[in-house]
Structure 1
Amino acid sequence: MTHDSANLVAAGDVSGTAVYGADDERVGTIDRVMIDKQSGKVAYAVMNFGGILGIGGDERPVPWNTLTYDTSLGGFRTSITEAQLNQAPEVEQGWESNRDWESRTYENYGVAPYWI
């Protein structure tokens, strides 16, 4: 992702962007973003974490509102902990249209759902 001063970014350019924890340590990478068709709101960043060089890691959708872009890092910053990532509901078939799964995910991260 480029480090210019633009306020908008193409969804495709977010893929591969690093995610850093509060301690400036890299915790993962954004694979893709998920956008609500009806509202147009970005709901999730699907993040890869763990593993080595993207191999053997896990994938979890994290609520978009848990991420903020940090120009000094050239990536997103989050306060999500490793424990929250590990305890989050795992990606399962049809998660994108399962409101119960989404509710449990947002509850796990302690943030308000995008649809409220």
Structure 2
Amino acid sequence: MVIDTMTKPHNLIASDRVEGTAVRRPNGDKIGHIERLMIDKLSGKVSYAILSFGGFLGMGTSLLPLPWARLTYNRAFEAYQLDIADEELKRAPSFGADKDFDWGDRSQEEALHRYYDVPPYWGGF
């Protein structure tokens, strides 16, 4: 039996469909969009969403690694929801489009999780 997944609702989504999806506040105001996902190679779980935030026409844009647990999907907005003020986002750990976050530095990841007040995906503090 062939199941047509395009017509039946389900909770799974392809990563290329997440990239570019808007990130909005609970009131619907747009914050930015998901640039890419970071997936843990061993568990296969999404660990971070990289939020493209600020700037104009790609200039001055910050890329913020957000712990995946900090986002929720809002069906009404067809967007991921993040309840955080612009001032907090401006102070958040980030990197520019011309350089990458050091994913090999666990202390940077720990600081990131402390900033967003969510436990790390690998467990404990």
TM-score bracket for the superposition, by shorter chain length: 0.7 to 0.9
Distance across 1 between alignment mates of 2:89 and 2:83:
11
- Which residue number corresponds to residue 32 of structure 1? 36
Match of 1:46 among 38, 44, 50: 50
The structure having more radius of gyration, on CA atoms, is: 2
1:78 corresponds, among 73, 82, 85, to 82
Query: Which structure 1 residue ranges, 4+ long, deviate > 6 Å from structure 2?
Result: none
Does residue 1:65 correspond to 2:96, yes or no? no
**Counterpart in the other structure of 2:117:** 110
Q: Is the 8 A contact 1:19 1:77 kept in 2?
A: yes
Correspondence for 2:105: 98
Structure 2 residue matching 1:104: 3-state secondary structure: helix
User: Which structure has more helix as a fraction of its residues?
Assistant: 1
Count of equivalent residues? 114
Deviation of 1:114 after TM superposition, in Å, equals 0.8
Q: Which moved more, 1:82-91 or 1:38-47?
A: 82-91
The residue type equivalent to 2:115 in the other structure is: N
Shift of 1:93: 4.7
**Counterpart Cα distance in 2 of 1:102 and 1:81:** 21
Contact 2:94 2:101 (8 Å CA) reproduced: no
Contact 2:74 2:81 in 1 (8 A): yes
